[in-house]
């Protein structure tokens, strides 16, 4: 029996069940009685709701991410853990890796812990094939699920995200409008946000009624830490005759590889080649020149995600989706008009 069954049996909405279970005062006594009757009848108290029923819980929230040592995800875990701690919650951390079956079992194992909610950090948990997201839907039937940088319409799932489509479209458009119509789009993830970024890139061409050259969208298969591998990959593309005056990378590591590629081939940045990364990480300031990069305000996203999470656990009505905007922080690898600059 889960929150849906309780809602159906009691004839009230899921939000109402949630409010009862979380001990919210904004429930009519008669409604509360209906819900509690159902729970008593079936003798079932999901762990996540034990607190609201006055039972002892661990006040723990599960964080699942693919790889907590990834620059971006490490920051996400750090911000989320800090905000949860300030709200009096522990965090149980699990790294699931990127394989679908591993993600599924990580979530199942987490549900088996006495966590009050689970946070999936990173857009790679949502795939384009809806069937492959069923495991999240099932989890949300038991405890609230919070997605960072991913989108899924499902009861008891709450999304906090950056509009990567828009940021990508804007920056691609600015590059095109500055005369760089042959932007190489370099990516290494087919996650939800990865595809949104790619869509934004293509859309920048579409809205200008320009053709998109499929050859210019390149997927890098190598390790997420092998900057030299990215450099060699681009050298290979060049050897095959591919020409481009800008590289737009779905993350900073790829952009750092593009900077190395330019250096290895005597290509001037930004004179002959513009480079844009994503995430505005430490790598951008380590590169020479420093890399212009889209900042998706991860710290703000994580603070909001935790606020939403705590509010939901307190039985408040929360919007299923909160969307922020990204912005290009212009450094040494681009010279685009009209963008914030940061030294």
Q: Count of CB atoms within 10 A of residue 170's CB? A: 20
Binding residues (CB under 8 A) for a copy of itself: these are 58, 60, 63, 67-69, 71, 74-75, 77-79, 81-82, 85, 90-95, 113-114, 225, 227-228, 253, 256, 260, 263, 282-283, 285-288, 343
User: Sign of dihedral through CA atoms 215, 273, 247, 224?
Assistant: positive
Q: How far is the CB of 79 from a copy of itself (least distance, A)?
A: 8
Q: Which parts of the chain fold into alpha helices (H)? A: 3-10, 14-21, 29-42, 47-50, 71-86, 100-112, 134-140, 164-177, 192-207, 227-239, 252-264, 282-286, 298-313
Taking the least distance from each CB to a copy of itself, the nearer of 114 and 321 is 114
Residues 187, 204: Cα–Cα separation, whole Å? 17
Taking the least distance from each CB to a copy of itself, the nearer of 128 and 341 is 341
Residues in the chain: 343
Taking the least distance from each CB to a copy of itself, the nearer of 82 and 320 is 82
Q: How far is the CB of 38 from a copy of itself (least distance, A)?
A: 28
Q: How far is the CB of 167 from a copy of itself (least distance, A)?
A: 22
Q: How far is the CB of 202 from a copy of itself (least distance, A)?
A: 29
Q: How far is the CB of 114 from a copy of itself (least distance, A)?
A: 8
Taking the least distance from each CB to a copy of itself, the nearer of 205 and 261 is 261
By three-state DSSP, how is residue 135 classified?
helix
First to last CA, the chain: 56
Asked if residue 104 has a cis previous peptide bond (ω within 30° of 0), the answer is: no
Taking the least distance from each CB to a copy of itself, the nearer of 114 and 132 is 114
Q: How far is the CB of 141 from a copy of itself (least distance, A)?
A: 22
Taking the least distance from each CB to a copy of itself, the nearer of 13 and 69 is 69
Taking the least distance from each CB to a copy of itself, the nearer of 68 and 304 is 68
Taking the least distance from each CB to a copy of itself, the nearer of 95 and 141 is 95
Beta bridge partners of 121: 65, 148
Residues 69, 56: Cα–Cα separation, whole Å? 33
Q: 283 is written with which tokens? A: 């790598």
Q: How far is the CB of 90 from a copy of itself (least distance, A)?
A: 5
Q: How far is the CB of 343 from a copy of itself (least distance, A)?
A: 7
Instruction: Tell me the CB-side half-sphere exposure of residue 294, using CA atoms within 13 A.
Output: 25
CA angle, 159 as apex, 282 and 98 as ends, to 5°?
60
Per-residue b or e along 281-307, where b marks 16 or more CB atoms closer than 10 Å to that residue's CB: bebbbebeebbbbbbbbbeebbbbbbe
Taking the least distance from each CB to a copy of itself, the nearer of 38 and 262 is 262
Residues 51 and 22 sit within 8 Å (Cβ to Cβ): yes
Residues 272 and 243 sit within 8 Å (Cβ to Cβ): no
Asked if residue 48 has a cis previous peptide bond (ω within 30° of 0), the answer is: no
Q: How far is the CB of 263 from a copy of itself (least distance, A)?
A: 6
């Amino acid at each position: 029996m889960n929150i849906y069954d309780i809602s159906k049996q009691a004839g009230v909405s899921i939000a109402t069940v949630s409010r009862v279970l979380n001990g919210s005062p904004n429930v009519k006594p008669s409604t509360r009685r209906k819900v509690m009757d159902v729970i008593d009848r079936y003798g079932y108290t999901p762990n996540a709701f034990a607190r609201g029923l006055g039972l002892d819980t661990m006040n723990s929230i599960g964080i699942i991410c693919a790889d907590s040592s990834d620059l971006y995800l490490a920051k996400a875990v750090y911000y989320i853990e800090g905000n949860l701690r300030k709200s009096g919650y522990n965090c149980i951390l699990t790294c699931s890796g990127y394989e679908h079956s591993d993600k599924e079992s990580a979530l199942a194992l987490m549900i088996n812990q006495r966590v009050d909610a689970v946070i999936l950090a990173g857009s790679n948990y949502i795939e384009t094939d809806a069937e492959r997201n069923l495991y999240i839907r099932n989890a949300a039937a038991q405890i609230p699920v919070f997605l960072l940088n991913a989108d899924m319409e499902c009861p008891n799932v709450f999304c906090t995200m950056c509009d990567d489509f828009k940021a990508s479209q804007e920056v691609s458009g600015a590059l095109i409008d500055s005369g760089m119509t042959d932007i190489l789009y370099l990516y290494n993830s087919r996650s939800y946000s990865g595809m949104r970024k790619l869509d934004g890139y293509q859309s920048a061409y579409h809205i200008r009624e320009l053709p998109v050259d499929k050859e210019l969208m390149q997927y890098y298969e190598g390790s997420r830490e092998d900057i030299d591998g990215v450099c060699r990959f681009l050298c290979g593309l060049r050897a095959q005759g591919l020409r481009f005056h800008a590289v737009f990378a779905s993350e900073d590591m790829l952009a750092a590889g593009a900077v190395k590629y330019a250096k290895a081939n005597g290509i001037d940045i930004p004179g002959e080649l513009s480079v844009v990364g994503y995430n505005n990480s430490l790598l951008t300031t380590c590169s020479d020149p420093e890399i212009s990069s889209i900042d998706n305000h991860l710290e703000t996203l994580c603070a909001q995600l935790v606020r939403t999470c705590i509010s939901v656990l307190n039985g408040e009505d929360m919007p299923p989706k909160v969307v922020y905007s990204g912005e290009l922080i212009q450094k040494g690898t681009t010279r685009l008009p009209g963008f914030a600059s940061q030294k």
